[in-house]
Chain A
Amino acid sequence: MYPIWEVPHLSAGIVLALIATFHILPSHLSVGAMWINVYIETKAYRESRPDLLEFVKKYTLLLLVFAYVFGSLSGVGIWYAATVANPRGISGLIHNYVWGWATEWVFFIVEVTGIFIYYYTLGKVDRRTHLKIGWIFAVTSWITMVIITGILSFMLSPGKWPETGGFFDGFFNQTYWPQLFLRTAVMFAISATYAVAVATRLKNDEAKRLVIRTASQWGFAGLLIASGALFWYLKALPEASIGLMGMIVPQGLKNGIFAAWGAMLAYFLFARLKPLSIKLVPAIAAIMVLFIGIWSTERTREMIRKPYVISSYLYSNQVIGKDIAPKGVKAEIARINKEGILRVSPFVPDGLREITDGNRLQAGRMIALIECSACHVLDKTGLRPLPQMVKKLNLTDAAVAGNILTALGGFPYMPPFAGTEAEKAALAAFLVSLNK
């Protein structure tokens, strides 16, 4: 167990979620934008419409700055946040998927050099060459999604990996294909939404009309295909995740997905019919609506993974829950129950390794920090605060609190308590002490 990073009121996990949420905006733009761009650029050359190149230039600049400054860095930011919020989680992923990420990085090289060269050579190299660079960039960007989808879907549904330990068995898991289709379809809707916003800034009305019409068609089609892929995805989900969907995913998130989907379909339809009536502010509002939809979907995906951070392997509190025999990895629960969490974790004050009457509450707090703080802050307010939960349950008796801790493993979304009986009693005493 590594040290814990405690973020008052928020929790480290929420910091990670906030960065990941922001990252959605530029990252989905970056994978999809070039398809629209290359299409419009081709049209500009074929139909001798140089006015359309104004869009290409503006849209590429948006891509360059927004996706490759804030998108690239927030992507690394997710990684850093995962490092400090759940080091064993990210370590487990990296030790399985290092070559997957390294492969992704090769395509990042093509992507990053591609965007700069595409932007700076527009009008400075012959058309055929410029389009070729655009196509290479477009296909490469999409491939980065092909790869990252394997790792993201693995975290939720590791497929045959727990039995075989095979890289590709985990990568091409049961939710891989529907998720790839879903993300690809949504990618077109997202880049279309940005394209409409950029097009509102064009000086030439003819160019504006054409770009908005094209983009809204792409966006509308993308959303329709996405709805089919979503049903496929839901059908492919592991049974436990489907159970959690009904149990712990708030109705607000589900409403967010469907309301955003409906609103965006209507928006694209309207934009197709009356392209010139779309102005910048509503176009940015549409990006926000889309963002709510994606945020709701991604949060749902995170929630239905509980109680794991890597399904069938690592609990959200970083305790290894299951053996991974082909990798020679043993579950830790039994050992921790025998030796004690305060003894097996290096980052524990020596004065707390042995529980006494004098240090019981401090030891209890330390256990809560290690085992609970990933999902429950210890402050009075914030993310699922422990003090509020014990008040709601009206816990005044340490024995009752201990029984609840014993029963935790039976809840489908909670990891079991890991530790000795004395540690359980210390945590129970600490929980009861919060009920003031």
Chain B
Amino acid sequence: MDTGTMVKTLQDPMGIPFYPILFQFLMVLTFAVHILFVNFTLGLSFLAAYGSARGNEHWGGLSRSLAKATTPNASLAILFGIAPLLFVQVVYDPFWYASNVLSAAWALGFIAILMLGYGLTYVYYLKGRPGRGAGFGAIGLLSFALFLLAGVIMHVLGYQLLLPEKWLHWYIEGNSVNASGTSLHAFQLPRFLHFVVPSFAMTGLFLMLYAWYFKDRADRDREQLAWVAGTGAGMAFLFTALQALVGVWWLFSLPPEFRFFRDPFFLVAAGMGVSLLFYLYRARKDPFRYAVPSSIWAFLTIFAMSYSREALRMKYVGRFGYSIFDHKLNLDLGSTALFFCTFIAGMFIVSYPVYVAYASGRTAGQYTASPAMHRWGSAGLALLLLWIAVVAGLGIVISVKNYL
């Protein structure tokens, strides 16, 4: 059985409920958000540990805030990891499942490692006090190391997926098989680094945003905030420059027949990356002013890079005649509408607590909401109840039709 036939054989016969291009778009978009929070989590957990090790006035104060910020960022990284994980299984099912089963023990180890790493961030934050010593600081470093190890595993699973021509070699030994799932089979250093190095650039931007966010609060130390903003801007520029070099390394390590340097997705992403670098160079002069626009541009660059990564994946799998656009379509408009309506409602509902958090963080002392804010919250709650009513109504109608 040749590789192309093998992949076709593995494909789920059930088809997909909407056009593949939509799943691809959602996969790329949610992956970009996911990797943004992964970057924050890695960078923040490292800087929190680094800061407490440095222990001087600037770093000591910042370290606690970074440890606190690591926890929601880790949660958001997990949360936004769920969506691309779902969509990749819709359009790349043969690749994702085969890659995972071939390293099954590691795929599950990934979860255990994340639990430990994430659990430790809470220990580090909740039990951390100034002067706890190097031993305690090691907990922070260990949580960073575990997050990084989880990244290694995810990188391998994502890379093995691209190499179906090697799957049988990894699994079959003579006339028997190695079904233990205990090996990691493929690793590509520049690709891995291209996901990790930006953690420090993005965390630099996080520091700039942090300083910008608190700058109008009278109870905050201006001098400390200026130091945070300056340090962040320096980090963002330096590591973006490093990232550009890693990108070139990765580009040269790709199979030459892909001619990826001519791919339009790549060209757009690379162009945005270079322009980001110039922008960050300027941002160092006034990091408070540049914090928000540079972060927006950085996210758009990540989004373009994510599309470029997807274009690369299409080239890898295209070697065997696989295209997500050949999927069998079993159109299901009802469930598609359910998702999109819920998504719009959900964004409205979540905007309320997010705005409350934003506003209260900028207020020294207790934040008191305006009547308009209360109406916003009530509307969100009403929307939730409406969702329940509509879905329950639909369920009752279907149950009556089918069973009574």
* Chain A residues near B (Cβ < 8 Å): 1-6, 12, 15, 19, 65, 68-70, 72-74, 76-77, 79-81, 83-84, 87-88, 90-92, 94-103, 105-110, 112-114, 116-118, 120-121, 123-126, 128-129, 132-133, 135-137, 139-140, 143, 146, 159-160, 165-169, 171-172, 174, 176-177, 320, 324, 326-330, 344, 346-349, 351-352, 359, 362, 365-366, 369
CB distance from A185 to the nearest CB of B (A): 17
Q: Which of chain A's residues have a CB closer than 8 A to the CB of B168?
A: 346-347
A90 to B202, CA, bound (A): 35
> Quick one: which of B10, B16, B360 contacts A125, CB cutoff 8 A?
B360
Q: Which of chain B's residues have a CB closer than 8 A to the CB of A126?
A: 366-369
> Quick one: which of B12, B83, B353 contacts A92, CB cutoff 8 A?
B12
Q: List 30 A-B contacts (CB under 8 A).
A: A3-B171, A5-B101, A70-B115, A73-B118, A80-B110, A84-B101, A84-B181, A87-B100, A91-B97, A98-B16, A105-B79, A106-B342, A107-B346, A108-B82, A116-B72, A123-B366, A126-B367, A126-B368, A126-B369, A129-B369, A136-B377, A136-B381, A139-B388, A165-B330, A176-B399, A327-B13, A328-B13, A330-B13, A346-B10, A347-B177
> Quick one: which of A79, A83, A107, A124 contacts B367, CB cutoff 8 A?
A124
A77 to B104, CA, bound (A): 12
> Quick one: which of B85, B101, B378 contacts A4, CB cutoff 8 A?
B101
CB distance from B180 to the nearest CB of A (A): 7
Beyond A116-B72, A176-B395, whether A103 also contacts B373 by CB under 8 A is no
A347 to B7, CA, bound (A): 11
Contact A76 B78 (CB under 8 A): yes
Contact A112 B177 (CB under 8 A): no
Q: Which of chain B's residues have a CB closer than 8 A to the CB of A106?
A: 339, 342-343, 345-346
Task: Please tell me if B111 contacts chain A, counting CB pairs below 8 Å.
Answer: yes
Q: Which of chain B's residues have a CB closer than 8 A to the CB of A79?
A: 85
Contact B9 A346 (CB under 8 A): yes
A113 to B17, CA, bound (A): 29
Closest 9 CB pairs of A and B: A84-B104, A87-B97, A106-B346, A5-B104, A99-B335, A95-B14, A6-B179, A132-B377, A167-B335
Beyond A117-B357, A167-B17, whether A91 also contacts B89 by CB under 8 A is yes
Q: Which of chain A's residues have a CB closer than 8 A to the CB of B349?
A: 110, 136, 140
CB distance from B346 to the nearest CB of A (A): 4
A118 to B338, CA, bound (A): 28
Q: Which of chain B's residues have a CB closer than 8 A to the CB of A137?
A: 353
> Quick one: which of B14, B108, B403 contacts A84, CB cutoff 8 A?
B108
Task: Please tell me if B56 contacts chain A, counting CB pairs below 8 Å.
Answer: no
Contact B402 A110 (CB under 8 A): no
Residues 329-346 of B, flagged 1 when their CB comes within 8 A of A and 0 if not, give 010101110110011011
CB distance from B124 to the nearest CB of A (A): 13
- Which residue of chain A has its CB nearest to the CB of B14? A95
- Which residue of chain A has its CB nearest to the CB of B357? A117
Task: Please tell me if B174 contacts chain A, counting CB pairs below 8 Å.
Answer: yes
CB distance from B173 to the nearest CB of A (A): 8
Q: Which of chain A's residues have a CB closer than 8 A to the CB of B114?
A: 73
CB distance from A204 to the nearest CB of B (A): 22
Contact A168 B334 (CB under 8 A): yes
Contact B334 A324 (CB under 8 A): no
A349 to B398, CA, bound (A): 48
Contact B360 A124 (CB under 8 A): yes
Q: Which of chain B's residues have a CB closer than 8 A to the CB of A359?
A: 175
Contact B101 A95 (CB under 8 A): no
Contact B75 A116 (CB under 8 A): yes
Task: Please tell me if B76 contacts chain A, counting CB pairs below 8 Å.
Answer: yes
CB distance from B260 to the nearest CB of A (A): 29
CB distance from A353 to the nearest CB of B (A): 9
> Quick one: which of B14, B101, B104, B346 contacts A324, CB cutoff 8 A?
B14
Contact B15 A125 (CB under 8 A): no
Contact A99 B17 (CB under 8 A): yes
CB distance from B129 to the nearest CB of A (A): 17
Task: Please tell me if B152 contacts chain A, counting CB pairs below 8 Å.
Answer: no
Beyond A76-B78, A139-B384, A176-B395, whether A2 also contacts B352 by CB under 8 A is no
> Quick one: which of A2, A320, A347 contacts B172, CB cutoff 8 A?
A347
A112 to B354, CA, bound (A): 11
Task: Please tell me if B248 contacts chain A, counting CB pairs below 8 Å.
Answer: no
Task: Please tell me if B90 contacts chain A, counting CB pairs below 8 Å.
Answer: yes
- Which residue of chain A has its CB nearest to the CB of B352? A136
- Which residue of chain A has its CB nearest to the CB of B327? A95
Contact B78 A117 (CB under 8 A): no
Task: Please tell me if B356 contacts chain A, counting CB pairs below 8 Å.
Answer: yes
A330 to B368, CA, bound (A): 61
A393 to B176, CA, bound (A): 27
Contact B384 A114 (CB under 8 A): no
Task: Please tell me if B6 contacts chain A, counting CB pairs below 8 Å.
Answer: yes
Task: Please tell me if B93 contacts chain A, counting CB pairs below 8 Å.
Answer: yes
Beyond A3-B102, A346-B10, whether A73 also contacts B115 by CB under 8 A is yes
**Residue of A6, A15, A123 with highest tally of chain B CB at under 10 A:** A6
